[in-house]
Every structure is written in structure tokens, then in C-alpha cells.
Amino acid sequence: MKDLSKEKMMTVKEVSEILTVSRDLIEKRIKELFPGKMKKGKTTYLSEPEVTAIKLRIQENSSLITSDDRRRFPKTDLEKELIISQAMQFQNEKILKLQSKLEEMAPKAALADTAIRDEKTQYSITNAGKHIGIPQGIIFQFMRDHGLLTLKRMPTQKALNMGILTQKTNIVDGRNRPQAVMDMGNIHKFKIYYIKKLEEGSK
């Protein structure tokens, strides 16, 4: 896996806090130095070289800094270097926390993937509906309306091809009794299809 700690990126807010200047000033310098980098509605991330370039441009244009910003802006080269060092340390700590969360989530993601691929545990359509919060009457009606279930409550070829239903045969009183069932993979695919059709219907 790629070592995220090598990607030293900071948000506009983080840069403004570390350099102790206003966010507006940082955004002005970004637009000036890196046109098109800032996208409306999206978080802007800055690399270490970009942060350094912004810091230097602010220094070069110190006459444009507001009185509030000027009071907070570092005076000596040592202060400036300490600020950049603190910024990178802060970012590295943040990245390490994110890596820790990803490692924590990995087993859960693997467990969810295993559950979806479980073909041994099978549910009736009614119980499958309960599993995803759809009442019995609604799930049966939806399946019939969308050509997934016959009037005899058997899977249509469409449902089988889509992987939404599975046909299971039980022996009852010496006779074969076919039944429509759903494993976790079927339930997962049905839920995606169900949500998609609801969204299409609401447009």
C-alpha cells in the first residue's frame, strides 16, 4: 500500500492557521499562483512546495497584508521555518490517524465482503425483505411489477439472470417443491436494483 505519510498535503484552513493569516489572504495567493486549483464545492489541498510558494509570495507582498494579518505574521526566518515544520508535523500526525482508521476498517470491509459472497445461507423473500427493511407486501409487489417473480412466486428468467433470485428445490412428502430464495449476494443486488428504480420513479 502507498505510504500516505509521504504525501504532505494541507487544506486552505490549515495553511491559514499555521501561517496565522486570514483564509482570504491564502485564497488570494492560491488564485494568483495556481489559477484553477480552487474548485467550487471542493476542498483545496496544497503540497509542501505550494505552501512554501504561498508563504514566500505573502512575504514579497507584505504591503498587501491587512493590519490584523501583519500583527500575526512571523517576523524572523527562524519563526517562519518553525511554522512550516509545525505544519508538516501536524499534517503527518493527521495522515497517521487516517492510516490507523483505514487499518481498523479493513477487517470490517473484509467481513462485509465475505457476507455478501455467502451463498450457503438462504432466506425466503419475506425474510430477505425484513433484512433490508422492506415489508412483505411491498417486496412481492415490486418483484411482480418489475418482472422478477411469477404469479406462483417463482423466479423469472430475468431475476435469475440478474442474480436477484435463486431457485431452490425442497423435497416435501416425496415430491420436489421449487421455491424462490435469496442468499446475501442476491439481497445485495436486489437492494441496489430497488433503490435505482425508486430513484428513477421519483424523477
- In tens, the pLDDT along 69-118 reads 444 455 556 566 666 666 777 777 777 777 777 666 665 555 455 555 66
Going from the N-terminus, what domains does the chain have, and what CATH number goes with each? 4-116 (1.10.1660), 123-202 (no CATH)
pLDDT for residue 173: 65
The answer on pLDDT for 139 being more than 90 is: yes
Q: Tell me which of 95 and 169 has the higher pLDDT.
A: 169
DSSP labels, the chain: ---GGG--EEEHHHHHHHHTS-HHHHHHHHHHHSTT---TTS--EEEHHHHHHHHHHHHHTGGGS-HHHHHHS--SHHHHHHHHHHHHHHHHHHHHHHHHHHHHHHHHHHHHHHHHT--S--EEHHHHHHHTT--HHHHHHHHHHTTSB-TTS-B-HHHHHHTS-EEEEEEETTEEEEEEEE-HHHHHHHHHHHHHHHHHHH-
pLDDT value, residue 136? 92
Stronger pLDDT, 160 or 54, i.e. the higher one: 160
What does the pLDDT look like over 58-71, one tens digit per residue?
A: 776 655 454 444 44
pTM, to two decimals = 0.42
